[in-house]
Structure 1
C-alpha cells in the first residue's frame, strides 16, 4: 500500500456519480423487502445514496466501518439503519446468506497479515453473507480485477459476471465495478474461462431476503475491552485478599517445575508483586512430538531399515491480564 493510502487506511470513497452509475444496473424486487450491506461504508454516502435510489427500507440497511470518526458520521446520517463500528468486516459475526445486495468498496491494499490481498479477504466474507441469487457490486482497481487469484475466486461463486468502469471524470485509480450474482454452491474454477463467463453490463434483479438474526462485533478494540473488564465480575478477582501471602521459592523454577505447576492448575489466579498493581495469570502446558533424528542401517539381505527417533517437547504459555485490561502473552519451550 502506498504511504498516502496507509495514512487514510486505504479509504477511497466512491464518487456520487460512480455510485449513481452503478445503481442504474440494479433493480429492487417489486414490493418485496431486501437487505443491503456496505461492509466498508466510510462516512455512509454511498450507502445512503444506493438505499435512496433503490428505495430500501432504513431498517434493512446495514453498514460496517473501522474508523471511529467515520462510524459516528454514518450513524448520524443513517440513524435508523444498522451501522456497526468501529469494526472490520473481518471481525464481525453475521448470519450466513442474509444480504440480497452488497456494495463492497474495500481498502486497496496488497496484502493483509502477510497473506492474501485485502480485497480477497473481503470477497470471501461476502460469499458467506450474500444469499444465493444475491447481487454483489465489487469496487476494485482494474489491475486487481486482472489478478488470477481474484478471478478464480469470483468465477467459482458468481455468475452473470460483468465489469463496468467508473465514469472517466471520477476514476482517479482506474476503478471498476465487478457485478455478479451469487451461485447456490461453488463450481470448479478449473473448467471455466473468465473471458467466456464475462457478459455485457445488464440489469440485475435483486432478490427478496430476510434480515440477519446475528450482526455483532467479535473483535473488540482496546478501549472496548477495558470498558468491558471494568464492569465484569472478573474485577473482584483482580483485587488482593487481605490474608494473601506471596512466598518466593529459594531457587528459580526450571521448565519441569513450571510445567507441573501449569498442569496442576497452581499457576492460575491473582498475582500482585509488592508495590505493583495486581493481575490475573493463566498458564497452559502443551506437549508435542518432533522428529529428533533418523537412523538407517543395512540388513544382511541387502535391505535398509530406517529408524525415526521421536522426542517430546513441552511448550509453556502464560497469559496475564492487568487492571488496565491489557493482555500479555509469554511463551517458551
Structure 2
C-alpha cells in the first residue's frame, strides 16, 4: 500500500490502512533487481496513494516498467493515478486483471477478518479462518507470472496453516523478515512463483512452512529485514505479452456520469442497432435445390415440402406436444342444485410450422403455424382448427388449405369468455346429436342462426354497445339450441329454449 510518514500512520491503522514504512520499503527494494532485457510490469492491488509502487518502478528502471495499481479509497486513488501507468479506483473484487501478466506483485493487503457483507465473502476459497489478507492473496496471486517475484506484507498472526500451505505450494526461495518499523506487527515475505507441481516437496519446504507457522503463533520472532541485502537479489522477469485485461466491472455514480458525458448517452448507436427491428425479413436468395432439401431432411431441420395445386409451396417442420382437453359435466342434486365437474384429459397436439417458399409471393420468407390445438377459452373456435372441423363432421382439409386459412385474419367478432352448457345440452353432446364447436363457430362469427330479424338487429347493436348476444340454431325437425353470451363477455352458455 502507499507510503506514509510514521507520525500519521497510526491515525490510519484503525481504519484498516496499514501503509509500508519508509525503512522497510527501502530495504525490500534492495532485494529486487530488474530483468536483463525486456519491459517489466509490476502490480500493487492495494496501492494507496501509489508511493510504494512508484518507488518500485523507479528502482527497477522507470522507462522499462509499466506500473499498475488498484485502490478503493477515492482520494488516495486520485493521488495514485498520477504515479502509475494504469490505475483503477474501486474494489479489487470488482476488477478483471489478466492472469500471469505481471513480473512483480507488491501485496500489502488490508488486515482483519472477512465480514459476511464483504463483496468477496462468497468467493472466498478456503476452509480456515476467513481473513482479508487471505482473500486478497487468493484474488491476486494468479496475476503473477511463473518466475515472478512476490512481496507480501502482512501481520505475523495472519500466518495460519491455510495461508502458509498456500505459500509453500505457490512459491520457492521463500524468506520471511520482520518489518523495519514494528508498529503493526508486520512481516515481509519474499518468494518466486513456481507451478504447483514444481513446488518443493522436500524437508526444506516442510521446514519453511513450520517456520512460518511458528512466526504466526509468535513462538519465533524473525529477524528484521537487513539494511544491506546479503543474498542474491530476486530478479524481476520481463512481462510476457500485453496486459489485455485491466478494468473494473462496476461503476459508481460519479464514474457512470463521467462515462455518460463522454458518450453523450448510454448507447449512442442505439438507433443503428434497434432501428433494424422494423425491417421485413429478407426472402431466401434462391429456390431450395434437391440437394438443399435432402440435407435439411437428413439433419431434421425440416419434415418435407408441400406443394398445392395452385402452385403454393411450403417447407414444413412438424412437432408434437401434450395438451389438456377440458370436459364439463353437470349433475343435478336431490335438492335441485347443480354440480359442475370439469375433467382434464391429456391429448397430443401436432404442430406444423411452415416456411412460405412460393415464388413471387408477397409472403415469401414468412413463417406460418398450423396446429390442431382446440380453441382457447374452453371451446372458443379458432380459424384453422382441424379438431373443430372434425367434430363438425367435415373431412380434414389438405395441408395447403389449412395453411391458407391460418394466414387469414381472425374472423371472430367478439370474445365468448368461459363456455358452459346445461345438463340437457351436455347429454345431447354425449349422444352425438349436437356439435357445440360448430355452433360456437357460427355464433362467434356473427351467424345468429334462426333468430327473428328483430333479434338479429339487436345482436348487431349489442356488438357496438356491449349488450347480451343471442343465437338460435335449429338441429333437425324438433331440436333447437340457444347460445347466449353475457353483456360483459365473461361467459357463453349453450342451453335449450325451455331451460331459459
1:118 corresponds in structure 2 to 132
Aligned to 2:250: 219
Judged with a 3 Å threshold, the aligned counterparts in structure 2 of structure 1 residues 18 and 117 are, in CA distance, closer, same or farther, namely same
Name 2:235's counterpart in structure 1. Answer: 205
Report the alpha carbon displacement of residue 58 of structure 1 after superposing the two structures with TM. Answer: 7.1
Q: Does structure 1 residue 172 correspond to structure 2 residue 172?
A: no
8 A contact 2:31–2:233 mirrored in 1: yes
- The answer as to 2:130 corresponding to 1:96 is no
The residue correspondences of 1:1-333 to structure 2 (distance < 5 A) are 8=15, 10-57=16-63, 60-78=66-84, 81-85=85-89, 87-113=90-116, 116-145=130-159, 147-167=160-180, 170-185=181-196, 193-196=205-208, 202-210=232-240, 211-225=242-256, 231-233=265-267
Paired position in structure 2 for 1:262:
none
| Deviation per residue, 1:11-42 (Å, 9 max, x gap) | 11101211111111111111321100010000
Cα separation, 2, equivalents of 1:205 and 1:58? 14
Task: Note if contact 2:39-2:64 (Cα within 8 Å) is conserved in structure 1.
Answer: no
Distance in 2 of aligned mates of 1:232 and 1:66: 25
Give, in angstroms, the shift of residue 194 of structure 1: 4.2
Q: 1:109 to 1:209 in 2, by over 3 A?
A: same
The separation in 2 between residues aligned to 1:110 and 1:189, in whole angstroms, is: 30
For the residue of structure 1 that corresponds to 2:190, the secondary structure is strand
TM-score normalised by length of structure 1 = 0.60
- Compare the two structures and name the one with the higher strand fraction: 1
Aligned length: 227
Please state how far the C-alpha of 1:73 moved relative to its aligned partner.
1.0
RMSD of aligned residue pairs (Cα, Å): 3.2
Give structure 1 stretches of 5+ with no counterpart: 237-333
| Change in CA separation of 1:180 and 1:49 when aligned onto 2, cut-off 3 Å | same
Cα displacement (A) at 1:131: 0.4
TM-score by length of 2: 0.41
Higher RCO, Cα 8 Å, sep 6+: 1
Cα separation, partners in 2 of 1:112 and 1:173, compared to 1, 3 Å: same
In structure 2, runs of 5+ residues without a counterpart are 1-10, 125-129, 213-229, 271-500
1:222 Cα deviation after fit: 4.2
